[in-house]
Structure formats: C-alpha cells, structure tokens
C-alpha cells in the first residue's frame, strides 16, 4: 500500500455553504490535515469569495464559473479536468464528493494520470444519485461513462449498496460500503444538570425535548410527523411535558409554520429556522427525530448521537445500521403511524429511556462513526487498500 500525503477534495460547492456533502468534505479535510496530509479543496467560486484561501490547515482553491446552471456545471467540469491534468504532480489521490459532472472529470483525468480516485455517492434509496441520473439524458450518459470506466464508488448505506449490487449493469462497479463520520471531540454530551441549563439558554423549560435538524423538504416527512405529534397531544386528559423543536429551512417551512399555529399545538412546537451552530441544540435535546422516507446517512443524526441523544428514526438508509432498536433508539416504518406513535409513547411514558439510549448512541458514534476512524480508513483506501 502506497502512503498518501496529498489529497484533492473535489466538490461543486463548499464552505461557507454547508449541506450534508459539503459538511463531510469540510470535516474530512480538517481531519486529514490534522494527520499531516496536504489537502486541497477544489470547488466553484461563487461571487464574493476569494479564489484561494487557507482554512483550518488546508487550502481551498475556487475556480471561476459563469452562465446559467448547465453552463456553470460544464465550465467547472472542464476546469477541474484540466487542473487535475496539469497539476498531476501536486497530489496523490482525488476524493470526489457526489457523483455529479466533476466526478466525470476526475475519473477521466485519473485514467490519464494514474492517480487514485474515489467518488462518494449521495442520497438514500429512491433519491440516490444513480436513480436521479436515470431520469435525464445527460444523467444516463454519465451512468454509461461510469459503467465503462468503473470508478471506485463509496456508498453510504447498505440499502443502496445492496440495490446497486443486484442491478444489471451496476453490479460490476467498484462499489465500496462506507459511511460518514462525526467529530466526536466536538459533539460531546452534557451531564443532566448541564442539559437543563442548555435548554434554558435556548429559552426552553425542562420539558422533554424532541429535535429535528435538517432541510424542510417533502422526503423528510416533518409535516407528517407533526400530524402524529398533534394526535398524541390530543389523546390524553393530561398533556405531556414535551416540546418539539424544528431546526432548518426549506420549501416545507410555510406549511409547517401554518400547522404549528394550530391551537392544539400551542406552545409545544417551535420552528427555529436555519442555524449555523447546532451544538447547543443537540446538547439540549433528549430525542433526535428523523422521519424521512429516504435517507443516506444523516450527518445530523450522527452529531446528535455523538452528543448522547437518543434517536427516533424511520427504518431506512443509514439509520438501519447506526441505530440499534431498543438500545440506542427506536426505528419505525415511515408510512406506519402506529409504529411511530408507539416509539413516541415509550419516551413520553419513561423520560429516563432517552438518557439510557443516549449513552449507547454516544458509544456507537465513538466506536463506529468517529471522524478519526473514518479518516484512517480513507487513508488506507486512498493508498490502494
């Protein structure tokens, strides 16, 4: 195995924009730089950002683009290809975040330079990049390119991995089951009295706090979760001491705000909007909710687990592998309201359940998903392992 000392992270978007893929690229770059690896992030240059800067021990190089989205993507793909070609002596491996057009540039460049290239697939089953690419002519052309050149693809959950393995034409791809990582040194749990203070700092009382963090889009099924939440609150004669805090933004936000304004939900639901620093919210939470119909491997879920928060998630994607039912959390069918209610009732009936599950969730995050472990395994992959 050849030691890798210089890595290029290729991603269409990067910090200060932080979606799930961008966050992983940022955290991986920090972790590798901390190991003495020379990391260069190659990305697009939106207006107002410098073309080059040093960030947390690694270099960010932004390539200028122009025109509408399709032209912008094509320009970035071409510029990435020629940069990788002409700078072949400055890196040992390329890690592409998402199998979009830059992945084509990187794979083609690797054929000419002989450099190791891995491509991370994003999305859960049904909204994964392979499925979405099948719907367009350019996407199908890209998939034909991948089938011909067979790049090494990092798949973030077994659901998508098994599906691709069973698909004619894709089983021969260089699929490798992998996972996202979390900085377990930054996302740490609090003691019980500290958690009470964390809630107070957010303007909350010591009610049991259920937390959602993520994009407010239909596949996340937050609106459906809110309907179940309302049904539970209306069932008993005594209203449970529980709060639902929704952190994030997206197309579903207006509908959620309207639903949360219902008198039956008064005081029990808060929409906090998008937040840059999520640590205070994880530390205040008792139960993290992830009701998605499809999911890859949620960064927010891993961050919550690392903070010692129990998980209540739909039985899809990476949650099926990260959460041990009845031990570190509760899993439910996203289309089965009865299962979801059963999970919620268990927590409402026994507040200590979240604390016990949270301890095991933290242990899972440290033992299986720590960014330190993920970075070490990636270094072996980059080197040919």
Tens of pLDDT, residue by residue over 136-193, are: 888 888 888 888 888 899 999 888 899 888 888 776 678 899 999 999 999 999 998 8
Q: What is the mean pLDDT of residues 277-305?
A: 96
Which of 326, 293, 333, 334 is CA-nearest to residue 310?
Answer: 326
Q: Is residue 1 one of the residues assigned to a domain? A: no
Residue 257 in this model has a pLDDT that exceeds 90: yes
Does 177 lie in the same domain as 218? Answer: no
Does the pLDDT at position 255 exceed 80?
yes
CA-to-CA distance for 287 and 266, rounded, in angstroms?
A: 20
Give domain status of residue 351, yes or no. Answer: yes
Whether 17 is covered by a domain: the verdict is yes
Q: Confirm whether 186 is domain-assigned.
A: no
Q: Is the same domain home to 133 and 196? A: no
How many C-beta atoms surround the C-beta of residue 134 within 10 A? 10
pLDDT exceeding 90 applies to what percent of the chain?
74
The CA–CA distances, whole Å, from 126 to 163, 196, 298, 312, 321 equal 10, 40, 16, 21, 18
Q: How many domains is the chain partitioned into structurally?
A: 2
Residue 225 sits in the same domain as residue 327:
yes
322 within some domain: yes
Sheet of 208-213, strands arranged across: 269-273, 242-247, 208-213, 287-290, 310-314, 329-332
Q: Are residues 11 and 64 in the same domain?
A: yes
> Do 146 and 288 lie in a common domain?
no
Side-chain-side CA neighbours of 162 within 13 Å: the count stands at: 5
- Indicate whether 248 and 377 sit together in one domain: no
This prediction has a pTM of 0.94
**Residues 250, 260: one domain?**
yes
Residue-range definition of the domain harbouring residue 337: 192-368
Asked, for residue 187, whether it belongs to a domain, the answer is no
- Alpha-carbon span 260 to 197, nearest angstrom: 25
Question: Which CATH number do you get for residue 293?
Answer: 3.40.50.2000
Residue 134 domain flag: yes
Q: How far is it, in rounded angstroms, from Cα 93 to Cα 348?
A: 49
Residues 358 and 375 in one domain: no
């Amino acid at each position: 195995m050849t030691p890798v000392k210089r890595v290029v992270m290729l991603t269409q978007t990067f910090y200060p924009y932080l979606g799930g893929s961008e966050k992983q690229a940022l955290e991986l770059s920090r972790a590798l730089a901390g190991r003495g690896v020379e990391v260069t992030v190659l990305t697009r240059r939106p207006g107002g950002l410098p073309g080059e800067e040093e960030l947390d021990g690694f270099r960010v190089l932004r390539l200028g683009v122009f025109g509408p989205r399709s032209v912008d993507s094509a320009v970035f793909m071409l510029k990435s290809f020629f940069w990788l070609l002409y700078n072949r002596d400055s890196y040992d491996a390329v890690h592409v975040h998402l199998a979009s057009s830059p992945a084509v540039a990187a794979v083609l460049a690797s054929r000419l330079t002989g450099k190791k290239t891995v491509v991370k697939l994003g999305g859960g089953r049904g909204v994964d990049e392979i499925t979405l690419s099948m719907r367009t002519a350019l996407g199908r052309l890209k998939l034909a390119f991948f089938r011909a050149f067979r790049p090494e693809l990092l798949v973030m959950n077994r659901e998508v991995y098994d599906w691709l393995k069973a698909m004619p034409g894709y089983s021969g791809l260089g699929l490798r089951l992998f996972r996202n990582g979390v900085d377990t040194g930054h996302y740490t749990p609090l003691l019980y009295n500290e958690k009470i203070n964390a809630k107070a700092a957010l303007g909350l009382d010591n009610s049991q706090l259920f937390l959602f963090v993520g994009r407010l889009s239909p596949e996340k099924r937050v609106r459906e979760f809110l309907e179940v939440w309302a049904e539970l609150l209306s069932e008993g004669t005594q209203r449970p001491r529980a709060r639902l805090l929704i952190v994030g933004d997206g197309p579903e936000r207006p509908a959620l705000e309207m639903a949360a304004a219902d008198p039956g939900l008064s005081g029990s639901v808060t929409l906090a909007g998008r937040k840059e620093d999520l640590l205070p919210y994880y530390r205040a939470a008792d139960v993290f909710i992830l009701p998605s119909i499809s999911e890859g491997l949620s960064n927010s879920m891993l961050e919550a687990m690392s903070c010692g928060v129990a998980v209540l998630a739909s039985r899809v994607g990476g949650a099926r592998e990260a959460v041990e039912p009845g031990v570190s959390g509760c899993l439910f069918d996203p289309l089965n309201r009865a299962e979801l209610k059963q999970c919620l009732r268990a927590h409402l009936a026994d507040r200590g359940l979240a604390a016990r599950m949270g301890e095991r969730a933290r242990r899972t995050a440290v033992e299986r998903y720590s960014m330190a472990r993920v970075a070490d395994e990636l270094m072996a992959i980059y080197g040919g392992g």
